[in-house]
Amino acid sequence: MSAYVARKGPAVFSALGKWAYNLSGFNQYGLHRDDCLYEDEDVKKAISRLPKHLYDERNYRITRALHLSMTKTILPKEQWTKYEEDTKYLEPYLKEVIREREEREEWEKDH
């Protein structure tokens, strides 16, 4: 059994990830993972760096999700965000913001 799991490891994790993703429920509103991040200072700054089209798409998804939540409905299943299609669109901007903040904190420590 353990040899089977070892060979099928990535597939098992992918299936588990997909199960957890679908269980979370945000995809039923058409949201992406990055739409649901807690907006601390780093996330806010990363959002401000998004290209206009990504920023507008994000705002549309969030506005639509709020409307659906208020009306206690969800999207039709064919419109749910799919695990395979959900991209971490904010991640490169967030990594850059965090790197800059850490660099600034390190510089301020030394000066």
Number of residues that this document lists for the chain: 111
pLDDT tens-digit series, residues 9-46: 455 558 888 888 889 999 999 999 999 999 999 999 99
Percent of the chain having pLDDT more than 70? 88
pLDDT above 60: residue 67: yes
pLDDT tens-digit series, residues 93-102: 999 999 999 9
**All domains of the chain, ordered by start, with CATH?**
26-110 (1.10.1090.10)
What sign does the CA torsion over 89, 32, 65, 36 have? negative
| pTM: predicted TM-score of the whole model, two decimal places | 0.80
Pair 75, 30: CB distance under 8 Å: yes
